[in-house]
Chain A
Amino acid sequence: MQIDRRIIYLFVAIGTILPIIFVIGLPVSITPPVQMAFDRIENQLQKGDIALVSFDYGPSSAPENAPMADAILRHCFSKGIKVVVIALYPLGGLSEAVNEVNKVVAEFPELKYGVDYVNLGYKDGAQAAMKKMAENIHEVFPTDVNGTPLDELPIMKNIRTYRDMKLVVSLATGIIGEWWANLVNAQFGIPVIVGPTAVSAPKYYAYLEAKQMAGLLGGLKGASEYERLVVNSYPKLAEVYATPGLYTATKGMDVQSIVHLIMIAFIVFGNIVYFTSKRKPRKAS
C-alpha cells in the first residue's frame, strides 16, 4: 500500500511543530563518546591551557552544530581554559564563529578579548591550513578577525604550533572534521574532539575506536548530552540554559524524539501492510 508522501510530510510537520510549542522536556542519557569528550576537557585540561575551536560548519547545519559550539565554549570559559577560535568552512563558517563566540562571551563579562580568547577568522584551503599550523600558526593567521597582528595579542604570544595547545575541537559538517582526526591527530598527535552532524557521525566511530579522536558529539543528541553534562557540573550554566526563549539542543531533542517515533510508526505500519498483502493471495488460493 503506497501512502502519498505528502501525508507522511504532514505528520512529520505536525511532529516538528507541536513539541516546539508544547515543550515536553524529555530526559537526556549520556553516551560514552560524549562522556569521553567532556572528561577530556574537564579532567585533562587545566586553567590557562589552550584549546583550539574550529568552526567547520555553515548556517545549514547550525541548528545541530551551534548548540555543540555553545556548550563547548561555555565549558571552556567556565573552567578558565583559553580558547583560540578559527573557521575553515568557506560558506558561513566565519559568521557562525563570530555569532556564537559573541553570544557566549556576553555571558562571561570577566573575559577579556586577546587575553582569554581570540578569533583568528577564516582561512581558505582547510587541509593546507591545518598542515601549516603545525609549523607556525602566525603564518596561517597573521592577524585576527579584526585585523590586529597576532604579536599584539597576549594570548597568541606563546602559541606557535599545535605543541602549544592541549586540544582541538572541530564542529564540523562534511569532511573537515575527518581531516582533523586522520591528518592532524595522526601526524601531530594533538587530541581532537569532533562534533559532526548526525548524518556524518557513524563514520567517526572508526576514528574514535582507533583512538584518533578523544571524543565525539554526534548531532543534536550529542549536543544535548554535552549540555546536560555542563549543566550538572556548573550551576551557573544551569541558569543560562534555563533562559526562556534560548534555543538549546535539549529542546531540539524533543522534536527529534517525536519525529523518530513517527518514522518508526510509519515503518512498522508499512511492514504490517506489506506482510498482510503478501498473505492475502495465499488465503485466496
Chain B
Amino acid sequence: MKRQIPLLLTFLAGAIPTIAFFVPQKHVGLVSTTLDSWLIIVAGFALLLGVVNVVQMNTNKIKRQASGWPYAIVLLAGLAIMGFFGVAGAFDKFGGIATRPDGSSTPFDWLYKYGFLPLQGTMFALLAFFMASASYRAFRARNTEATILLIAALLVMFGRIPFGEMVSKWFPLATEWIMGKPNMAAQRGIMIGAALGAASMALRVILGIERSYLGLGKGE
C-alpha cells in the first residue's frame, strides 16, 4: 500500500488534466481545476511545515550555540516581527496590511517597503557585479567556439547601448540579427529537446516507471 497509493494518485493527477485537455465536458474540466486548487491548498500546508522546520532548526542552533548562532537569532526575530504584523494586519489591527486609506504605511507595509524591498533589490543588483567577473573570466578566445562566443558577446553588449549606434549603425543591426536568428535557433533547439525530455519524464512519472522522487528504491 505504501507503494500503490502514491503511484495511483500520481497516475490520476497526471491522467486527469491530460484528458481534460482533449475532452470539453464540464465535469472533466471541473475535476481538473479542482486538482489545481488542491495543489494550492497542499502547498499552503506544506509552507506551515517549512516554517516549523525553520523555527526548530534555528532554535536548536541557538541552544547548542553552533557556528553562526547569532544569525539564527536575527532570522527568528525577522520571522516573528514580520509574521506578527502580517497576521495582526489580516485581523485589521494597526490599519491592515497594505497602505492605509490616508496613504500612510501600516507597520507591515513599512517593513516591506523599507526593509524587504531594498534587500531584494540589493541581491538582484549583485548580478551586475557577478556578471562582470564571470565575463572577465569566461570570455577568452581559447578555441574556435570560444572565439565565436566572445565576438557574439562583444557585439551584443556593444550594440545594446547607445554608444554602439553612435560608432556605427551596423552594431544594433548586428545585435538584432544575432538575437533574432542564431540565438533564436539555438533557443528553439534546446527548448524542443528539453520539452521532449520533460514529456518523457512526465510519462515515466505518470505510469509509475520513475519512482525515485517518492523515495522508493529499486525493486520497490
Contacts and interface: CB of A to CB of B under 8 A. Distances in A.
Given A8-B136, A60-B124, A267-B135, A132 B33 contact: yes
A39 interface: no
Secondary structure type dominating chain A contacts: helix
A265 B216 CA distance: 53
A36 to B, nearest CB: 12
Contacts of A128: 33, 36-37
Contacts of A259: 128, 132
Contacts of A27: 162, 165-166
A87 interface: no
Interface stretch (A71-79, A107-115, A198-206, A232-240): A198-206
A31 B117 contact: no
A253 B128 contact: no
A59 B117 contact: yes
Contact of A29 (B153, B158, B162): B162
Given A125-B36, A267-B154, A9 B129 contact: yes
B121 A206 contact: no
B33 A32 contact: no
Interface string B15-36: 0000000000000000001001
A263 B132 contact: yes
A203 B187 contact: yes
A97 B124 CA distance: 19
B136 A29 contact: no
A202 B183 contact: yes
B94 interface: no
Interface of B: 33, 36-37, 39-40, 98-99, 112, 116-117, 120-121, 123-124, 127-129, 131-133, 135-137, 139-142, 150, 153-154, 157-158, 160-163, 165-166, 172, 176, 179-180, 183-184, 187-188, 191
Contacts of A13: 129
A125 B127 CA distance: 28
A267 B150 contact: yes
B157 A263 contact: yes
A169 B150 CA distance: 34
B139 A267 contact: yes
Interface string A99-141: 0000000000000000000000000110010011000000000
Nearest to B109: A95
Q: Which of B139, B158, B162, B163 has the most CB of A within 10 A?
A: B162
B157 to A, nearest CB: 5
A262 B131 CA distance: 12
B140 A125 contact: no
Contacts of B161: 26, 221, 253, 256-257, 260-261
Contacts of B132: 8-9, 11-12, 259, 262-263, 266
A32 B191 CA distance: 24
Contact of B191 (A3, A206, A253, A264): A206
Contact of A5 (B116, B128, B133, B188): B133
Contacts of B141: 271, 274-275
Contact of A266 (B99, B121, B135): B135
A12 B129 CA distance: 7
B136 A267 contact: yes
A63 B121 contact: yes
Contacts of A256: 160-161
A206 B181 CA distance: 9
Contact of A264 (B40, B98, B158): B158
Interface string A239-254: 0000000000000010
Nearest to A132: B33
Contacts of B140: 270-271, 274
Given A31-B176, A261-B163, A270 B184 contact: no
Contact of B98 (A28, A61, A98, A205): A98
Contacts of B162: 26-29, 253, 257
Contacts of B98: 95, 98
A163 B191 CA distance: 29
Contacts of A202: 179, 183-184, 187
B120 A60 contact: yes
Contact of B157 (A124, A132, A260): A260
A31 B124 CA distance: 26
